[in-house]
Amino acid sequence: MNGFHVLMYHEIVRKEDFDEENNSWIKVNQDYHDILPKVLFVFLEEFEKQMAYLHENRYTILTLKDVIDFFYCGKSIPEKAVLITFDDMYKSVLLYAYPVLKRYGFSATGFVVLDWLFDEVQKYSSRQSVCLSKSELWEMGDVFEYACHSKALHIRKDGLTALQTVDRTAFCIDTEACRQFVNSRDAYAYPFGIFTDEIIQWLKESGFRLAFTTAGGKNTAAADPYKIQRDCIFLELNIDRFIHILI
């Protein structure tokens, strides 16, 4: 069945720098403290194998426009096709993922939390998940397009995500601020992958055409473009399991 997979990455790390014993606290510009689960890291060595596999097996690397055309214009997608996405945009994306993607001529989508981006460049740390600065983000503009992951709603609050606690007005103000910064204004990635039917309706009313979840699976033409599935690439996912995902 014609369709595509979406690969979801967060942090890339070298094996020799990985500290399994200590938590990786995020360092972001917003006044928010949280831990990035270790499972959301991917070893650089495995990432290189994964991208090499896509290249050697002639996968088509999609853009958000390709996905929009697939859902809304009835355009076909090659049998072997993936959209590569990164959430939150940590410094490891610039240091490790970007050079690999560029080497193969691949494009990727970065889902941005606007208030997490720093105004000044921060020092990289293998013991923290440090967010990129705005200037660093645009340094990767030849490979990355950027879409919304909210302005300030990617936080946990009283056992819920902030997105679950706001009304329509607050949501629209938040998303519009993020849209003014990014260069791909039709797509939204739900913070923590959590959403409601009401939030989907707000996205539609705001002019978004795509929204991305964290549930895995292949996306066919029959899929809901506001519930696009993404395969999370986990720490322990070796190349054989990566290949199996794409079947």
Q: Give pLDDT tens digits for 78-132.
A: 999 999 999 999 999 999 999 999 999 999 999 999 999 999 999 999 999 999 9
Q: What is the per-residue pLDDT across 161-211, written as a single tens digit (0 to 9) for each?
A: 999 999 999 999 999 999 999 999 999 999 999 999 999 999 999 999 999
pLDDT at 22 over 90: no
Instruction: Indicate the number of domains in the chain.
Output: 1
Domain range spanning residue 79?
Answer: 3-245
Residue 138 CA, distance from chain mean position: 16
Q: What is the per-residue pLDDT across 41-60, written as a single tens digit (0 to 9) for each?
A: 999 999 999 999 999 999 99
- C-alpha angle with apex 83: 162 to 205, nearest 5 degrees? 45
Give the pLDDT score at 159.
Answer: 87
| SS3 category, 124 | coil
The four Cα atoms 95, 98, 100, 103 give a dihedral, to 10 degrees, of -130
Question: Residue 89 has which token pair?
Answer: 């945009």
What is the sign, positive or negative, of the torsion defined by CA atoms of 36, 95, 154, 208?
Answer: negative
Name the band, by pLDDT with cuts 50, 70 and 90, for residue 216.
very high
Question: Residue 160 has which token pair?
Answer: 């819920």
End-to-end CA distance of the chain: 11
What span, in angstroms and rounded, lies between the C-alpha atoms of 47 and 101?
A: 10
Give the pLDDT score at 195.
Answer: 96
**Residue 221: CATH number of its domain:** 3.20.20.370
Name the band, by pLDDT with cuts 50, 70 and 90, for residue 1.
low
What span, in angstroms and rounded, lies between the C-alpha atoms of 233 and 242?
A: 8
User: What DSSP string runs through 145-186?
Assistant: EEEES-SS--SEETTEEGGGT--HHHHHHHHHHHHHH-S-TT
